Amino acid sequence: MKTLRVLTGITTSGTPHLGNYVGAVRPTVRASRQPEVDSFYFLADYHALIKVGDPARVQRSTLEIAATWLACGLDPEAVTFYRQSDIPEIPELTWLLTCVTGKGMLNRAHAYKASVDKNTASGEDPDAGVTAGLFMYPVLMAADILMFNAHRVPVGRDQIQHIEMARDIAASFNHLYGEHFTLPEAAIEAHVATLPGLDGRKMSKSYDNTIPLFTPREQLRKLIMGIVTDSRLPGEPKDTDGSALFQLYQAFASAEETAGLAQAYASGIAWGEAKQLLFERIDQEIAPMRAAYEELMQNPAQIERTLQRGAEKARSVATPFTRQLRHAVGLRALDTLAAAAPAPKSAKIMAPSFKQYRQSDGLFYFKLVDGGGQLLLQSEGFTSPKEAGQAITRLQSQGTAALDAPGPRLNLIASATELSTALAQLSGQGS
Ligand code: TRP
């Protein structure tokens, strides 16, 4: 039963490297195989626009990252795998969230603050070169997460603050408009945020010390031979502590293999030999995926189709949920007011609404209440919010006929006529 919703994105701003693989791709592909996990993985291409101004690079990186995820074993049938910019509801939600987000909170975001501090230190205007996109980054990210009511968000340490902000934003919205959003939690892979690069610092595009994940075998060998070591000679014992080579090995090897290398360090293995071991160990894991990757890269049209199917799946959640959120904040058609009694005290009590929620049994429920708060219909538990959302969509398109659809029962509390009236009112609001 899928009770845990896990969501993460990768910004499409560069070529995936070993750090991305160990830190993000490998753990998320593994997590997606757990039967209780409902996975949402996406290509964060709107986020890429914040730092990349080169259209060809954004497109190329989107292809590379999609091919990487697929080559590493992500099953697009078993998960929801999509491109952020195929979901127009996300920028729409970004605006709804922007309006409940404190500017002061965004002022404190690390990435924005780092730019401001750097400007200040160099005597520039504090906001020189800072776009509003950079400033708004955390809100767009909150929309990514909250749109799908993710429980858990696997990220690197540098992203923890963004998840906390998403929680704060969700809580503000819920407080103002009712319980619409699940509060997400960051999930951190303990050892991976620190995968070292060629120079021993954290592997990162910004240090120019990365090993591209699917670089050809011979190139991989060359790069690994260039990893920085100390000057100890063959035969001299070597320190595993602070050895980038050792840490890289550890990220790929079993505990026994790692212990074996530690032993070899102690007995004075030559650096060249240790590098050769590391190279073979990494290549052993990567080689089959590299072949799949190269084939996928020859077939962008196939990847595009996969993403389009993923977008359809994602929107089967996002579209009805956005309809619900628009209604919640008061973006409503006016004819429901005209149909109502004169001079209503508050628009809030006029319109019926769907409410989706999760109970302690882990299942996802919804109910339909009328403008006066009377319960009209109560669902039984669905295993995923997606299925609950689909049942709502069916009700909206088929009316009472949808009551007989297979799946968890929809218990009609009111009369069929009252239900039809409420659904008609809802559809009159449009979306
Ligand atoms: N900001 C993340 C990163 O750099 C990418 C990202 C965008 C993301 N939206 C997200 C991650 C939502 C998790 C959830 O690397």
Q: What is the pLDDT of residues 67-109, one digit of tens each?
A: 999 999 999 999 999 999 999 999 999 999 999 999 999 999 9
Q: Which residue has the tokens 């079993």?
A: 254
Segment 284-309 mean pLDDT: 98
The helix (run of H) or strand (run of E) holding residue 368 is strand 364-369
Which amino acid, 247? Q
Mean pLDDT for the stretch of residues 364-368: 91
- Among the residue ranges 37-41, 132-136, 146-150, 347-351, the one predicted with the least confidence is 347-351
Q: What is the distance in A from the centroid of ligand 1 to the CA of 76?
A: 19
Return the domain boundaries, the chain. Answer: 4-194+299-329, 214-297, 353-426
Q: Answer yes or no: is the C-beta of 145 below 6 A from any ligand 1 atom.
A: yes
404 C-alpha vs ligand 1 centroid, how far in Å?
Answer: 40
- Is the pLDDT reported for residue 413 higher than 80? no
**Torsion region of 123: left, alpha or beta (phi above 0 gives left; psi -120 to 50 gives alpha):** left
Please compute the mean of the pLDDT values over residues 8-12 and round it to a whole number.
95
> Tell me: domain 4-194+299-329, CATH 3.40.50.970, correct?
no
Two tokens, residue 12? 């499409």
> Which one has a higher pLDDT value, 416 or 38?
38
152-154 and 185-187 beta bridge pairing: parallel
pLDDT score recorded for residue 191:
56
Q: Which residue has the tokens 């980054």?
A: 137
pLDDT for 431: 44
Burial class (CB in 10 A: 0-12, 13-18, 19+), 257: middle
* % of residues, the chain, pLDDT over 90: 73
Answer whether 9 contacts ligand 1 (Cβ < 6 A). yes
Query: What is the DSSP track for 106-123?
Result: HHT-HHHHHHHHHHHHTT
**pLDDT value of position 192:** 55
Question: Under CATH, what is the fold of the domain 214-297?
Answer: Tyrosyl-Transfer RNA Synthetase (1.10.240)
pLDDT at position 273:
97
Q: Which helix (H) or strand (E) holds 276?
A: helix 271-297
In the chain, pLDDT over 70 holds for what percent of residues?
Answer: 95
Beta carbon of 8 within 6 Å of any ligand 1 atom:
yes
Cα 365 to ligand 1 centroid, rounded to whole Å: 28
84 lines ligand 1 (CB under 6 A): no
pLDDT of residue 322: 98
353-426 maps to which CATH number? Answer: 2.30.29.80
Q: Work out the average pLDDT over 347-358.
A: 77
Provide the pLDDT for residue 339.
Answer: 65
The residue-averaged pLDDT of 147-173 equals: 94
- For residue 180, is pLDDT > 90? yes
Quote the CA–CA distance of 418 and 409 in Å, as a whole number: 18
Q: Tell me how far apart the alpha carbons of residues 51 and 54 are, in angstroms, rounded to a whole number.
A: 9
